[in-house]
């Protein structure tokens, strides 16, 4: 019974995470396919550059929300009193990130997993998720590089989690989630890392030039 529930919550996590809110918002706000512009990703940064700040904010909220909702659903289905619930929540969070990055709805394209991962952390243990988001925003304010903020914020979730695990304030499964999730985020930012080193990475606020108001027109 528990095995079937485990696979169920992972499937829910993947298909929920795979909902391409960035693509939907680009269509609704500007009538464009954001995958055709900028980085080609459906995450917050590319949506903001192509469809505007309002669209970016909405996608940020929705993507964080789907990560949080995924792990909360896992908690509700598995049951808070079971020993497997923390493993299920961490696995479901990773499934949501996988769905977001490689969405079955859009030919296995997607975003970078940052906002969904942050949402999953908020759902599992909100202080760690909030701290990681705090670092993310501070780095953006200082450097104006969203990619750098994403990498540092994700990495900080590991270092924040380690002492909590040592002090028995945090389950080990959540640290494992932070480690694997950070590796996924860094992997997805590998081209950004090259541009950061070369000094050609775009800063926040640089808009993508859209030739036409509507795709194909």
Q: Convert the pLDDT of each residue in 151-191 to its tens digit.
A: 999 999 999 999 999 999 999 999 999 999 999 999 999 99
Q: In 79-113, which ranges are continuous DSSP H helix? A: 85-101
Instruction: Name the residue among 159, 156, 161 with its Cα closest to residue 175.
Output: 161
Break the chain into its structural domains and give their ranges.
Answer: 2-198
The token pair at 201 is 């990475």
Instruction: Name the residue among 163, 154, 120 with its Cα closest to residue 134.
Output: 154
Task: Report the pLDDT value the prediction gives residue 204, as an integer from 0 to 100.
Answer: 80
Q: 168 versus 204: which is more confidently predicted? A: 168
Rounded mean pLDDT, 195-202: 94
57 burial level (CB within 10 Å; 0-12, 13-18, 19+): middle
For residues 13 and 84, the answer to whether their CB atoms sit within 8 Å is no
Please say if the pLDDT value at position 89 is more than 80.
yes
Task: Report the pLDDT value the prediction gives residue 207, as an integer from 0 to 100.
Answer: 66
What are the two backbone dihedrals, phi and then psi, of residue 103, each rounded to the nearest 5 degrees? -80, 130
Residues present in the chain in total: 217
Task: Report the pLDDT value the prediction gives residue 216, as an integer from 0 to 100.
Answer: 42
Q: What is the dihedral of CA 57, 59, 65, 66, to 10 degrees?
A: -170
What H or E segment, with its residue span, contains residue 180?
helix 172-188
Measure the CA–CA gap between 49 and 73, rounded to whole angstroms.
32
- Tell me the pTM: 0.92
Please say if the pLDDT value at position 217 is more than 60.
no
Task: Report the pLDDT value the prediction gives residue 213, as an integer from 0 to 100.
Answer: 47
- Helices 85-101 and 172-188 pack at an angle, to 10 degrees, of 10
Rounded mean pLDDT, 187-204: 94
Please say if the pLDDT value at position 130 is more than 50.
yes
Average pLDDT score, the chain: 92
């Amino acid at each position: 019974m528990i095995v079937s529930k485990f696979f169920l919550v992972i499937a829910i996590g993947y298909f929920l995470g795979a909902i391409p809110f960035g693509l939907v918002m680009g269509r609704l706000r500007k009538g464009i396919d954001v995958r055709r512009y900028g980085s080609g990703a459906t995450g917050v940064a590319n949506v903001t550059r192509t469809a505007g700040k309002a669209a970016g904010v909405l996608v940020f909220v929705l993507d964080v929300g789907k990560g949080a909702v995924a792990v909360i659903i896992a908690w509700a289905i598995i049951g808070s009193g079971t020993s497997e619930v923390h493993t299920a929540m961490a696995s479901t969070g990773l499934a949501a990130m996988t769905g977001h990055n490689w969405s079955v709805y859009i030919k296995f394209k997607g975003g970078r997993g940052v906002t969904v991962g942050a949402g999953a952390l908020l759902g599992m243990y909100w202080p760690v998720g909030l701290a990681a988001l705090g670092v993310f925003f501070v780095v953006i304010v200082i450097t104006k590089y969203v990619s750098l903020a994403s990498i540092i914020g994700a990495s900080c979730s590991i270092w924040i989690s380690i002492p909590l695990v040592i002090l028995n304030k945090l389950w080990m499964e959540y640290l494992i989630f932070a480690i694997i999730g950070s590796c996924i985020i860094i992997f997805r930012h590998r081209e950004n890392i090259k541009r950061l080193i070369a000094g050609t990475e775009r800063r926040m606020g640089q808009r993508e030039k859209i030739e036409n108001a509507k795709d194909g027109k």
